[in-house]
A and B are shown apart, each in its own frame.
Chain A
Amino acid sequence: MIAQLTLIERQHAILISAAVALLGFLMMLAGRDDPMGAHGALIFVVSILMIFRIGGSYYAPPPSDDRLKHYYDDPSKVGIVISMMWAVVGLGVGDWVAWQLVNPDLTFGTGWSSFGRLRPVHTTSVIFGFGGNALIATSFYVLQRTSRARLPDQVSPWFVLFGYNLFCLLAVTGYLMGITQSKEYAEPEWYTDIWLVVVWVTYFILYLRTLARRKEPHIYVSNWYYMAFILVVAILHIVNNLAVPVSLGHAKSYSAFSGVQDAMTQWWYGHNAVAFFLTAGFLGMMYYFLPMRAGRPIYSYRMSIISFWGITFFYMWAGSHHLHYTALPQWVQTLGMTFSLMLLIPSWASAGNVLLTLNGAWDKVRDDATLRFMMVAGVFYGLATFEGSFMAIRSVNSLSHYTDWTVGHVHVGALGWVAMITFGSIYACVPWLWKRERMYSTKLVEAHFWLALSGTVIYIFAMWNSGIIQGLMWRTYTDSGTLAYSFVDTLVAMHPYYIARAVGGLLFLIGGCLGAYNIWKTITVPGVTSEHASDLPQPALAGALHAAAE
């Protein structure tokens, strides 16, 4: 990998690592009485290791100019591997905390292993670790192919990828030590947040620089979605994380906002993290990998454009539906509800596009589990967005809010849409990247598909049941006008569903592990190298796969 870097690029990489190491050292000094010191040490060690890694190949012969005739795919390859590692960790921790709700003593009796600290480890690992790395890796891949241009340099993509993973690592280790802002999906503290801004700005500039090298004037729609993902996440991240640290040597900070303003800002962020991280980015992925895998263009390019602007505009209004019947002014709640309902239009435009693109190629869907992953993702996307709009209606929300129904809804989107489209795209992309005829084992892909699908279905049915039952029990009155059930009564009723949920999660986790193993074998086992060792993906492969599976 390092042999691909020119001498100048190797020097830059070492300089950047040294600067980060220095920052880590300063944090270690300033935070010596605080958990922040441990983070300083972590940053320092990681950067020093990086310097040694680059230094070890410093005198390797410089790369030939031949490299410029190919796309620069090393960061995408590494990104996909890291993404799968986060998937296994994140799904594993998620299932662990699910079992903790079945048996709360499944901890080690220590702070780090309790539910409250592990839950953000789960959410961050799957959303930012698994999802974020998959987005970065595929965005580099898609950006280069759709622009027909190579990335402009070979250092900044690595900075984005490793810098981003440093962010994830600081976030997750922070929660275990008790470093958190308590803002859901924005838990990392101020210095981690500032670091992400640096990485994110580099990411966006890299995107624009590559686009400026493209061959044709039109920018393919996938890039629109990826750009909206990068840009809007930056805006959300910066505003929601405005805070004053206790001191430069303290990890702890206090949010600039309080009370109702903070609640609105947080859910403006929270809901749009769903919109622009978990939707826009993955739609970008879908609009490239689905047509490529199916070997046919997207059904309606126009619909993809309407969907794009609809999502970009509508979503930003919808966050207040998280605050129905609270101390937030009612007109804001009503706006949130209205726009949540309108969101159904652009959302279903994209979901419909998936199915209509596959219309006429159902034989491929039947035979190719990778394409089936993408199709099921489209169906769950349609389902999740319908359910989301439904739950944003005030009267429905009065029942569903604070219950497991919300958790179920999130997982329709997260397991059914985000994870499925990611697995599908990765299974399509891995053989193309490593120039293989197909995945190491198509049977394992098939097994993964059924595990993922059954795990998701069990999970969401369990949560629908428990959520609706709990919501109804909370509001049931006796004939004499008093509440019929105590809170503890509802806990007893939840128990069987918590077991079912943990089992569903376990199936999904096993599927993820099979996927990681299969990808690893595809990379490491030589032999099935593709004949067409060109740089472009092979849409026809889906057909070849079919033949191979017979």
Chain B
Amino acid sequence: MIVEHAFLVGFSKSFGLFYLVVLSVAVVLHAMRPSNKKRFDEAARSILRDEAGPWR
């Protein structure tokens, strides 16, 4: 298969940036979604909770 250099470069320059935008939006939405707040706060506190050892 012969891949055109120009095509690959074009793909790299456009697709990568498209991926960047989609991923950024998705991550920010996921992190900032109000319904996730409780879960995250709980996770942050979870390591400080004193438990005496492995559950298994």
Residues of A within 8 A of B (CB): 68-71, 144-146, 148-150, 213, 215-216, 218, 220-221, 288, 291-292, 295-298, 301-303, 305-306, 309-310, 313, 317, 329, 331, 335, 534-536, 539
Residues of B within 8 A of A (CB): 9, 12-13, 16, 20, 23-24, 27-28, 30-32, 39-48, 50-56
Given the known interface contacts A144-B54, A148-B55, A149-B54, the answer about A291 and B16 at a Cβ–Cβ threshold of 8 Å is no
| Cα(A295)–Cα(B44), bound, Å | 12
- Which residues of the partner chain A approach B48 to less than 8 Å between Cβ atoms? 291-292, 295-297, 539
Contact partner of A302 among B13, B31, B42, B51, CB < 8 A? B31
| Cα(A19)–Cα(B30), bound, Å | 47
User: What's the nearest-Cβ distance from chain A to residue B22, in Å?
Assistant: 11
| Cα(A313)–Cα(B32), bound, Å | 19
Please indicate which of the listed interface residues A70, A146, A292, A536 has the most CB atoms of chain B within 10 Å of its own CB.
A536
Contact call B9/A313, Cβ cutoff below 8 A? no
| Cα(A252)–Cα(B16), bound, Å | 37
| Cα(A539)–Cα(B47), bound, Å | 10
- Which residues of the partner chain B approach A298 to less than 8 Å between Cβ atoms? 44
Given the known interface contacts A297-B45, A306-B27, A306-B31, the answer about A218 and B39 at a Cβ–Cβ threshold of 8 Å is yes
User: What's the nearest-Cβ distance from chain A to residue B20, in Å?
Assistant: 7
Closest 5 CB pairs of A and B: A297-B44, A150-B54, A301-B40, A301-B44, A309-B27
Contact call B53/A70, Cβ cutoff below 8 A? yes
| Cα(A215)–Cα(B56), bound, Å | 9
User: What's the nearest-Cβ distance from chain B to residue A22, in Å?
Assistant: 36
User: What's the nearest-Cβ distance from chain B to residue A356, in Å?
Assistant: 12
User: What's the nearest-Cβ distance from chain B to residue A44, in Å?
Assistant: 37
The 20 listed contacts between A and B (C-beta, < 8 Å) are A71-B54, A146-B47, A149-B54, A150-B54, A150-B56, A218-B46, A291-B44, A297-B47, A302-B40, A305-B27, A305-B30, A305-B31, A305-B40, A306-B28, A317-B16, A335-B13, A534-B50, A534-B52, A534-B53, A536-B52
The residue on B at minimum CB distance from A357 is B44
| Cα(A295)–Cα(B48), bound, Å | 7
- Which residues of the partner chain B approach A536 to less than 8 Å between Cβ atoms? 50-53
The residue on B at minimum CB distance from A216 is B46
| Cα(A68)–Cα(B43), bound, Å | 25
Contact partner of A331 among B9, B23, B31, CB < 8 A? B9
